[in-house]
Amino acid sequence: MNVILLGPPGAGKGTQAKLLSVELKLPHISTGDMFRDHKTKGTELGRKIQAIMDGGGLVTDDITNAMVKDRLAQKDASRGFILDGFPRTVAQAEFLEGLGRKVDAALSYDVPEEKVIERISGRRSCPKCGSVYHVSSSPPRKAGFCDKDDTGLVQRDDDKPENVKKRLQEYAQKTAPLKRWYAEKGVLLDIDGVGTPEGILAVTQTALAALR
């Protein structure tokens, strides 16, 4: 089964993708994780990605498509996948279809804008080990410092409120039309993205069962 997750930044797609990966026994493929890996390694591609994300923009199609194509060619994705963060545009959706990987379910997680801004702007990450916290929902034991290595936590530039708003605007312009595209193919499932991870997973599983 090939599943993609849609929704604005901060909608909880990554959390649901991880949970679904376990339930469906399919690989969770996150473009965000792939982007961060390149940035951490300091590759030329990583530097390009860093500049785009620091400005609150979305990584260009040519960069993203190449990374996804290479990842889907790996053995563990042969029987299906859960794509988190791709496609983000209709052009990317057409590229995915051109690879012969038909999407069976497009899960669209809907979350109000004010909730998204609260979720993202409250994130703090450890620059040493990569652990992520939230100032209100999952704070570290010692305010401002990582539980694992006591390194000072930082707020990523793309998590600052002004950049979150830019990302949401860009999402509305480029990514929201995907809902219409997948709705026309009969595979779009709208999911309420507000609630506990477990509760949202249960709603997702019910929607997937009905689609099958």
Active site residue 123: yes
Active site residue 124: no
Q: Within 10 Å of residue 98's Cβ, how many Cβ atoms?
A: 10
Active site residue 36: no
Which of the following is catalytic: 36, 101, 119, 167?
A: 167
Which of the following is catalytic: 88, 101, 119, 124?
A: 88
Q: Give CA–CA dist 130/122, Å, rounded.
A: 16
The helix or strand, by DSSP H or E, that contains position 199, with its residue range, turns out to be helix 197-211
Which of the following is catalytic: 13, 36, 101, 119?
A: 13
> Could you give phi then psi for residue 143, rounded to 5 degrees?
-50, 125
Active site residue 48: no
Burial of 67 from C-beta contacts in 10 A (0-12 / 13-18 / 19+): buried
Which of the following is catalytic: 71, 101, 123, 124?
A: 123
Active site residue 180: no
- The first and second tokens of residue 172, run together, are 């509305």
Q: Give CA–CA dist 35/15, Å, rounded.
A: 17
Burial of 132 from C-beta contacts in 10 A (0-12 / 13-18 / 19+): middle
Which of the following is catalytic: 156, 160, 166, 179?
A: 156
Active site positions, annotated? 13, 88, 123, 156, 167
